[in-house]
Amino acid sequence: MEEGDRAADRPLVRRRQQTQYLWTDSDKGPSDAASNVFRFYGTWTTVGRGTPNDGALIFKIENRSAIGDFISTQALGPSLGYAGLFASTYSDQGWVLTNFYWRQRFAGGRGAFVIGQVDVNDYGNVNALASPWNAFTNFEFQQQSTFQAPAQGLGAAVRWRIDDNWTILGGVADANSDPSDPSESAETLFDTGETFKHFGVGWSPAWSDRWNQLLQLTAWQVDERTEAGIPSGRGLSFAASAHTGAWLPFFRAGYAEDGGRQLDRSVSIGTGYEARGGDDLAGIGLNWGRAPDRSRDQFTMEAFYRWGATDFLEITPQLQYVANPANDPGTDSVLVLGLRSRVVF
């Protein structure tokens, strides 16, 4: 349970202001996009504080919006025929409830569960550079389009640490979730019973360093979404990450069958590099993907450098290059230049 586990030693309430601008060399319009995200979130530990069996309420409220007359940076990639997302979390949904769940540890910390308004991408199929806020922007390097986890919504998951190396994790979530209208989503879930299920097995050389060094294989299945007209689907995802010196190499591979996926095959490889004693972070990633019913191989590259300008400001210039966008056979390539800022207050 990534978010819940990592939040234990943080202040109760945190605020972040994230802004992103993306420009492309596409001759189609719109060719650029800008988004803003305000995040208000925190952890309230009310049970067993300071013990291995603590329980906490995790909450996160965000405002995700396009800036002015721009489209959101999340919408830019699909609008240019890209099978995937140039930016995953910078949408135009307005106010969203992305987390509101209870996290409970038990059995001396060997087990943990979450239940409530969850984000499966917080804990399923993760790697060391999975954060969309301070690492890679393109979704293929944070997660994968072959892993069809729904948006934030009602769900539950349980993790059990078998020993110091092996872990199992399983969960279920609302397949039709909409964090901008959680009450309506909950009603739909109870009416339809349409869910996303996942089960993963993970190995780490040391439990204390599991976020940086992890092998994880995850199987998933999603029900048919009748109202949306999307068939049921299933797939497998593999994620591996390591930490050697200042380097953070990673590898991802995924396969999906139906379920509304953007890609049915995807392989990513790359690395992060902690510069200036960890104050800065550089990263580069390469991805190959195959979209459903498409014969083109789509290739994606992203490089970024996150500069910690001050204790409260990060600035991240980034570059993406796409060869053979899968859903636009008339385009050979798209160059994407971007700038992202993160203000902590």
Record the tokens describing residue 21, joined without a space. Answer: 């601008």
Cβ neighbours for 19, distance < 8 A, ≥ 6 positions apart: 34, 35, 36, 37, 67, 340, 341
What residue spans define the domains of the chain?
A: 2-344
Q: Report pTM.
A: 0.92
Cβ of 219: how many Cβ atoms within 10 Å? 14
Query: Pairing relation of β-strands 280-290 and 298-308?
Result: antiparallel
Residue 260 has pLDDT above 90, yes or no: no
Residue 6 has pLDDT above 50, yes or no: no
Greater confidence (148 vs 67) lies with: 67
Rounded mean pLDDT, 42-54:
93
**Share of residues in the chain with pLDDT > 70 (%):** 97
Cβ of 116: how many Cβ atoms within 10 Å? 16
The per-residue pLDDT for range 170-195, each reduced to its tens digit, is 999 999 999 999 999 999 999 999 99
Confidence of residue 4 (pLDDT cuts 50, 70, 90): very low
Which of these ranges, 153-167, 201-215, 271-285, has the smallest mean pLDDT?
201-215
Confidence of residue 12 (pLDDT cuts 50, 70, 90): confident
The per-residue pLDDT for range 284-331, each reduced to its tens digit, is 999 999 999 887 899 999 999 999 999 999 999 999 999 999 999 999
Confidence of residue 1 (pLDDT cuts 50, 70, 90): low
Q: What is the pLDDT of residue 207?
A: 83
The per-residue pLDDT for range 280-289, each reduced to its tens digit, is 999 999 999 9
**Share of residues in the chain with pLDDT > 90 (%):** 87
Q: What is the pLDDT of residue 8?
A: 44
Q: What is the pLDDT of residue 290?
A: 94
Record the tokens describing residue 108, joined without a space. Answer: 């001396």
Whether domain 2-344 has CATH 2.40.160.10: the reply is yes
Give the C-alpha separation, 262 to 251, whole Å.
20
Rounded mean pLDDT, 146-161:
96
Rounded mean pLDDT, 24-41:
95
Q: What is the pLDDT of residue 7?
A: 43
Record the tokens describing residue 282, joined without a space. Answer: 């550089």
Residue 127 has pLDDT above 90, yes or no: no
Rounded mean pLDDT, 77-85:
96
Residue 162 has pLDDT above 50, yes or no: yes
Rounded mean pLDDT, 143-154:
93
Residue 2 has pLDDT above 60, yes or no: no
Greater confidence (249 vs 260) lies with: 249
Instruction: Name the strand (E) or helix (H) holding 60.
Output: strand 55-66
